[in-house]
Amino acid sequence: MDRKVIIGMCVSAVLFACCTGKPKKAAVEEQEDLKAKEMFQGIWLSDDTEIPLMRVDGDTVYYADPQNVPVAFKIVHDTLYLCGNKVTAYKINMQTENSFSFYSLSDVLVKLHKSENPDDALVFAERKVEVIPTISEVIKKDSVVMHKGNRYHGYVYINPSKMKVIRTSYSEDGIGVDNVYYDNVIHICVYKGKEMLYGEDITKKMFASVLAPEILDQSILSDMDFLGVSEAGYLYRAALRIPESSVYNVVNLTIGFDNVVKLSL
């Protein structure tokens, strides 16, 4: 078998083990560079700033920023694999007991050196990852529309929740990190006069049929607007946004008079 094919199969096996968390012990021990893994243990500082950036403990990389999610890692041949929300590969430039440098995704050479100051461990004191809320309190929106002489009143309640969304972002140097955000649950009510015609909670999962998984997974359900009433039913427009960015997708909801929801882009 061609040597390149063999190497490719080996790397794929290690990445599968890294990301599933259920590796076959023999495969991992055979392919992972255990000496490199051992040298990678410890607290690492930036050569440029002397600021602690990460702590490597066992199979995990912990970041100094409490909003960044710890990730599993593997070193295979001359490549560092970080297995977070996405698997990211970084070409290692140099590694010794006290120095480590690698190329970021934007081809910037990141140079690190191992800490010799015990106080640097305080930066990585035991703590939970800080989850970033997208809203702090319930947001209420209401609209009144007329249709065939009837007055319809639509209410929207955007509620913060404890459902987590993990978004991968990249630093200026091209290093990927994962942040955690809280998603929202949106409650929709439609009234005709004093009669409630519809009242349900809408969550992000509902949009799996119209948005690709890689988009939906990193998005939050951020907004909902009542557009009106038509022969098809009650018309709404939802916004699903990637946190801390200007990227969002708009999805139209038509709630039929039989209370069946139809989605369209």
pLDDT tens, 190-248?
Answer: 998 889 989 999 999 999 999 999 899 999 999 999 888 888 989 999 999 999 889 99
pLDDT at res. 173: 76
- Average confidence (pLDDT) over 41-70: 93
| The pair of three-digit structure tokens given for residue 54, joined into one six-digit string | 């990460």
Question: What's the pLDDT band for 16 if we cut at 50, 70, 90?
Answer: very low
SS3 assignment, position 216: helix
Is pLDDT at 42 greater than 90 in this prediction? yes
Using the CB atoms, write b or e for 143-156: b if 16+ within 10 Å: eebeeeeeebbbbb
Separation of alpha carbons 261 and 185, rounded Å: 16
Q: How many CB atoms lie within 10 A of CB 188?
A: 21
Q: What is the pTM of this model?
A: 0.76
Ordered by where they begin, the domains of the chain are 3-124 (2.40.128), 139-264 (2.40.128.510)
Question: What's the pLDDT band for 18 if we cut at 50, 70, 90?
Answer: low
Is pLDDT at 263 greater than 80 in this prediction? yes
Is pLDDT at 14 greater than 50 in this prediction? no
pLDDT at res. 29: 41
pLDDT at res. 229: 86
Beta strands in the chain, from DSSP E residues, in sequence order:
42-46, 52-57, 60-63, 71-76, 79-83, 87-95, 99-103, 109-114, 139-147, 150-170, 176-192, 195-202, 220-230, 233-241, 248-255, 261-264
- Average confidence (pLDDT) over 86-113: 95
